[in-house]
Amino acid sequence: MSEIKTLEGEFNGASANYALLVSRFNSFIVDSLESGAVDCLQRHGVSAASITCIKVPGAFELPLAAQKAAQTEEFDAIIALGAVIRGSTPHFDYVCSECSRGLGEVSLKYDIPVAFGVLTVDNIEQAIERAGTKAGNKGADAAMTALEMVSLLRKF
């Protein structure tokens, strides 16, 4: 095993800039994801000056904001936060699929890590569980992913 070359990221975020995309829809949930992400970044050495928070109306708008952020070339990673909660119409499916597809596309097109911190849940209880209660904080998890991917990409 010791002869296998392994590339893996670390979690020291000090030398990188992060775009934190935050959707306003379901803000009572997304605010907790944002706090979790900021807390995680700062506890891993990222200064407030290295975090730019960009607000969008809803999860559907996250990909375009991610694309604009990537085009500036100012950021080493993008962290997209939102909460899509299923209703009684197919709207949920359209928002989720465009959001995830668009964010993935930006990541590959611009060669930049885009962490997917968007909850896609059936009800408010599931959202609360993932926004800082019994299932952790998915905003913090997305921030961890961004830290690791920035570090990993620098090793190629």
Determine phi and psi for 57, rounding to 5 degrees: -65, -50
Interaction of residue 33 with ligand INI, rule CB under 6 A? no
91 is catalytic: yes
User: For 127, left (φ over 0), alpha (ψ -120 to 50), or beta?
Assistant: alpha
Q: Does 66 bind ligand INI (CB under 6 A)?
A: no
Rounded Cα distance, 76 and 74, in Å? 7
Residue range at the interface with ligand INI (CB under 6 A); choices 35-43, 71-79, 87-95, 147-155: 87-95
Nearer to ligand INI, 16 or 142 (CB): 142
By CB under 6 A, the count of residues binding ligand INI is 16
Residue 91 binds ligand INI (CB under 6 A): yes
CA of 19: how far to CAs of 61, 71, 73, 88, in Å? 15, 12, 11, 33
Calculate the CA dihedral of residues 28, 32, 34, 35 and round it to 10 degrees: 140
- Find the binding residues for ligand INI in span 13-32 (CB under 6 A): 23, 25-26
Please identify every residue annotated as catalytic. Answer: 91
Q: Which residues of the chain form contacts with ligand INI (CB under 6 A)? A: 23, 25-26, 57-61, 82-85, 87, 91-92, 95
